[in-house]
């Protein structure tokens, strides 16, 4: 007997709905095994990861703060992936956005610049992120160069550029030689929603972005074009949709959102520009996009869930000395299960008994 994959006559909507839940369930079981291997009590570890952060107000706010960049980047990436354009360099676009926005903050430092500073930082960060994302998009459309590789290479370049700025021209003279800019002025800082809390304006902005994406994909011709170009390229060509133009558009939008997420992170929770402002948001957002089934509302939920794993991972490290890398392993395993479960939407397993007579050609 043999287990083989067989294409379903039509996609299974039931599995489409429950597959992320199955994936999360399988991941949690796998993690429990991993914790046991590491010599930790699996139940306590899972509690520290997934339950403990939900039980106090500070952690809940922190989850929303961490989810903000993840969701914002993932919304942009989902547009790319729907159009079958593979932007995997969001981490670089995030960093370049952070750098570009910080430029205004650094240059206006100590002057009596007005309330225009923060909006200007947002606009510049989004523009820089979009331009940075356009490099791989144009290389793809004009020269046919793989956007996967070029967008990823530019992550390393952005990282080094940021490193140069904060160790060189932008370093805080009073910063004891640490590679960081000075703390941003209040006008260059994202306002908090609750005095003394952690929630900031970025969380409102990201909700607007989710709503805008839902409208774009569900209610507009452009959104329809994006989905058709990705799902049925041939039909899209007959329909006269320009796939090159859509690659440019989706990369630009996704770069702008990643750049905006970058400056919100720097001018919000971090407060200054320094290396290591991102614990890999641009890469984790890829998982968020897939876990959320490339659907805006799904991405919002998936972003909150992955933010929970970041916070849970930090708490588990403090409380149980579980290494932080476990969070990355968790995220990788989760993406595997999500992809595997998604496969069952289109295919199903079938037990086949090889018929020897047929195989010999006599049947």
Which residues in this chain contact another protein in the complex, by CB under 8 A? Answer: 4-7, 86, 88, 135, 139, 142-146, 148-150, 152-154, 156-157, 160-161, 163-164, 167-168, 283, 286-287, 290, 323-333, 335-336, 339-340, 342-343, 346-347, 352
Cβ 215 to another protein shortest distance, Å: 26
158 with 132: CB under 8 angstroms? Answer: yes
* CA 205 from centroid of its chain's CA atoms: 16
The CB-of-17 to another protein minimum distance in angstroms stands at: 19
Question: What is the spatial distance between Cα 46 and Cα 281, in angstroms, rounded to a whole number?
Answer: 23
> With respect to another protein, which residue has the nearer C-beta, 59 or 317?
317
Minimum CB distance to another protein, residue 340 (Å): 5
The least distance separating another protein from the CB of residue 234, rounded to whole angstroms, comes to 14
Residue closer to another protein by CB (options 111, 146) is 146
Taking the least distance from each CB to another protein, the nearer of 139 and 216 is 139
Residue 7 or 356: the one with the smaller Cβ distance to another protein is 7
CB of 362 to another protein, least distance (A): 17
Residue among 136 and 202 whose Cβ is closer to another protein:
136
Minimum CB separation of residue 220 from another protein in Å reads 26
**In terms of CB distance, is 108 or 309 closer to another protein?**
309
Asked if 348 contacts 8 with a C-beta cutoff of 8 angstroms, the reply is yes
**To the nearest whole angstrom, how small is the minimum distance from the Cβ of residue 334 to another protein?**
9
Minimum distance between the CB of residue 283 and another protein, rounded to whole angstroms?
Answer: 6
- CB nearer another protein, residue 264 or residue 316: 316
Q: Which of 76, 307, 94, 92 is nearest to 209 (CA)?
A: 76
Report the residue number, 87 or 189, with the smaller CB distance to another protein.
Answer: 87
CB 248 within 8 A of CB 134: yes
To the nearest whole angstrom, how small is the minimum distance from the Cβ of residue 323 to another protein?
6
Residue 38 buriedness (CB in 10 A; 0-12 / 13-18 / 19+): middle
d(CA 267, CA 189): 5
- Specify the residue, 60 or 150, whose C-beta has the smaller distance to another protein: 150
């Amino acid at each position: 007997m043999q287990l083989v994959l067989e294409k379903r006559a039509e996609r299974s909507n039931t599995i489409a709905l429950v597959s992320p839940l199955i994936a999360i369930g399988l991941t949690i079981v796998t993690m429990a095994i991993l914790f046991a291997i590491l010599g930790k009590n699996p139940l306590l570890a899972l509690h520290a990861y997934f339950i403990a952060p939900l039980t106090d107000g500070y952690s809940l706010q922190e989850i929303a703060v961490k989810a903000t960049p993840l969701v914002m980047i993932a919304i942009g990436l989902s547009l790319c992936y729907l159009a079958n354009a593979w932007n995997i360099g969001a981490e670089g676009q995030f960093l370049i956005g952070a750098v570009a926005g910080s430029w205004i903050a650094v240059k206006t430092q100590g002057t009596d610049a007005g309330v225009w500073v923060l909006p200007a930082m947002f606009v510049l960060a989004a523009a820089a992120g979009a331009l940075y994302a356009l490099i791989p998009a144009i290389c793809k459309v004009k020269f046919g160069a793989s956007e996967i590789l070029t967008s990823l290479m530019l992550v390393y370049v952005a990282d080094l550029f940021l490193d140069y700025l904060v160790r060189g021209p932008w370093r805080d003279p009073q910063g004891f030689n640490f590679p960081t800019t000075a703390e941003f002025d209040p006008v260059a800082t994202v306002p908090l929603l609750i005095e003394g809390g952690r929630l900031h304006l970025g969380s409102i902005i990201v909700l607007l972005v989710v709503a805008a994406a839902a409208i774009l994909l569900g209610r507009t011709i452009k959104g329809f074009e994006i989905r058709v170009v990705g799902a049925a390229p041939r039909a899209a060509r007959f329909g006269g949709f320009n796939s090159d133009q859509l690659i440019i558009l989706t990369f630009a939008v996704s770069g702008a959102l990643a750049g905006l997420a970058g400056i919100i992170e720097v001018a919000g929770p971090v407060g200054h520009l320094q290396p290591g402002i991102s614990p890999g948001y641009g890469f984790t957002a890829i998982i968020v996009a897939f876990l959320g089934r490339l659907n805006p509302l799904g991405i919002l939920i998936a972003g909150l869930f992955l933010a929970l794993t970041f916070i849970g991972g930090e708490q588990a490290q403090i409380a149980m000395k579980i290494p932080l890398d476990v969070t990355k392993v968790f995220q990788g395993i989760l993406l595997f299960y999500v992809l595997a479960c998604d496969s069952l939407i289109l295919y199903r397993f079938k037990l086949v008994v090889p018929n020897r007579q047929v195989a010999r050609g006599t049947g």
